[in-house]
Chains A and B, each alone.
Chain A
């Protein structure tokens, strides 16, 4: 009885709320122009929406190996935030995809989710392990990509942001090319099904009770799609609206990340230049040690000071690099913290809204199914 009374009061409110979502979603679509389905336009399914998750910094938990692996954890974290945007921009430039967004966490319900782990990054070379999978679970890419800064790129000094984009551009172009190659072998039906599954997985996450018969949780993680709902399923329509609203927030987060990128581009470039110099100094140290191996008679003052100096210069180069890493953190740290707190606020807002959306959708489902 109390539930029924609650529904009598709650349903109109829910409908008002859903209308508000619809307005927000329409506004988002109008701004973005890519989520064609949500806007009621006929959709070109080859233009899948792509979510690029913030990369895994690839920092080993064992801090004792950081020095050996040349890993600066906080800088890796910045790179993990920073580098996905270069991939995002590369994918956008191809004009082959729908909305391409950088998202804070991997979302398996994304039509195409691209995740990356930084294997190594030293200013001269970047190795990324990229995993791309669509909503149906089909793996598109699962392989490392290596980018080397060429002298032409490294000497480019047209502006900080331009250099970041150019430095490892070939690496991002390679990822983009391989993603397109996989997409091009998929048929129109496959692509449409990816889009449908994507929405269904999102729906299952949001209102599991309503979509229980369509999706089965697998014990090893992930889900199995048992069947698809009708295309005119009203609940699915509402889910699409909710999702569009969430995209508004995701786009706001994306904008915050872009601001971050713009703000730290200069200092990140300075860091990369210094890092590159450090690598060159290390190579010079090695060359010097090799060239002076037979300086002086063994045991002579000249020979032993040469041996000591070789060690000293090597350690000074390492320690200078540590100092520069701290300088970079000093400069970029406050910006990172500010952006992170803003992103956390937006994410918290989405989490709160999820709870509200779930409640409303479950109530609507009960009303519609007479539960």
Chain B
């Protein structure tokens, strides 16, 4: 029951924060036929492209002062924070989500495995973003820690997670036509921040070095490697 209430609340919050538009709607969660894009492979961060964190924070600061409500502040928040003027608390909340966005977009390498039904995006020092489509419908995961969903927006893969305290993180993955570049746009929202914060990161496909060894993970022997075929 509490889980249901949480999911319901998270969904409602998603809808509210996205100006009546859910980040991922039912249509995006349906997949008829093959996946629209192939992300499979190893990707390394391209530091020459993408947003500069300090510049993005500066933009957010001026943006917030130009339009303190940013169209996303509830009446309740306006009352709580006083007038339309930007309070220190509002800015601190925006800066907090900006710092979080910076932390979670730091991985230098993304290792993506993709099958007919599943995509797993492994990131350093973080959990792997996982998206599975069984029977043509994206499979959501939910627990007391958060609700995660994914879907396709055209050729973009969208992953969205909503946490019980109103924190929401959305990643949009787009691969270039030639398949060599990957763009990841990460947006962090919080019910305490009057505006979301977004950072773009770019990655370039690279071939992970191949090993002369065939290795598999085992339980009792840990990682077992061989130069020939493995017989456990």
The chain A residues found within 8 Å of chain B, CB to CB, are 62-64, 67, 266-267, 270-271, 274, 285-286, 289, 298-301, 303-305, 307-308, 310-312, 314-316, 319, 323-324, 326-328, 330-331, 334-335
Write out, one digit per residue, whether chain B residues 153-194 have a CB within 8 A of any chain A CB (1) or not (0).
000000001011101010000000000000000000011110
Whether B217 contacts A330 by the Cβ 8 Å rule is: yes
Chain A binding site: helix, strand, loop or mixed by DSSP? Answer: helix
Chain B residues near A331: list those with CB within 8 A: 218-221, 232
Is B99 close to A, CB under 8 A? yes
Given the interface contacts A307-B167, A308-B100, A310-B145, does A270 sit within 8 Å of B232 by beta carbon?
A: no
From 76 to 101 in chain B, residues with beta carbon under 8 angstroms from any chain A beta carbon are: 89, 92-93, 95-97, 99-100
Which residue on chain A has the smallest CB distance to residue B141? A67
Q: A366 vs B130: C-alpha distance in the bound complex, in angstroms?
A: 66
Q: Is B126 an interface residue (CB 8 A)?
A: yes
Given A63-B134, A299-B190, A304-B96, does the pair A324, B163 have CB atoms closer than 8 Å?
A: no
A305 to B103, Cβ gap below 8 A? yes
Q: Which of A286, A298, A327, A328 contacts B165 (CB 8 A)?
A: A298
With a cutoff of 8 Å between Cβ atoms, the chain A residues found around residue B144 in the complex are 286, 289
B binding-site residues for A, Cβ under 8 Å:
89, 92-93, 95-97, 99-100, 103-104, 126-128, 130, 132, 134-135, 137, 139, 141, 143-146, 148, 161, 163-165, 167, 169, 190-193, 216-221, 231-232
User: Within the assembled complex, what's the spacing in Å between the Cα atoms of A289 and B144?
Assistant: 9
A-B pairs, 9 with minimum CB distance: A299-B192, A315-B127, A64-B134, A301-B96, A299-B93, A327-B217, A331-B218, A314-B145, A270-B219
Least CB distance, B152 to chain A, in whole angstroms: 17
Q: How far is the CB of B121 from chain A (nearest CB, A)?
A: 12
Whether A304 touches B167, Cβ cut-off 8 Å, given contacts A289-B145, A324-B219, is yes
A219 to B103, CA, bound (A): 67
**A326 touching B192, Cβ below 8 Å:** no
A311 x B145 contact (CB < 8 A): yes
> Would you list 19 pairs from A and B whose C-beta atoms are within 8 A, ordered by A residue?
A62-B134, A62-B135, A64-B139, A67-B139, A267-B218, A285-B145, A299-B93, A299-B191, A299-B193, A301-B100, A304-B100, A305-B103, A307-B165, A311-B146, A314-B146, A326-B217, A327-B218, A334-B231, A335-B232
Among A308, A310, A328, point to the contact of B104 (Cβ < 8 A). Answer: A308
B107–chain A nearest beta-carbon distance, Å:
13
Q: How far is the CA of A186 from the CA of B186 in the complex (A)?
A: 70
CB pair B92 A300 closer than 8 Å: yes
Complex CA gap A327/B99 in Å reads: 36
A327 CA / B127 CA spacing, docked (Å): 19
- Determine the chain B residues whose CB is within 8 A of the CB of A266 once the complex forms: 220
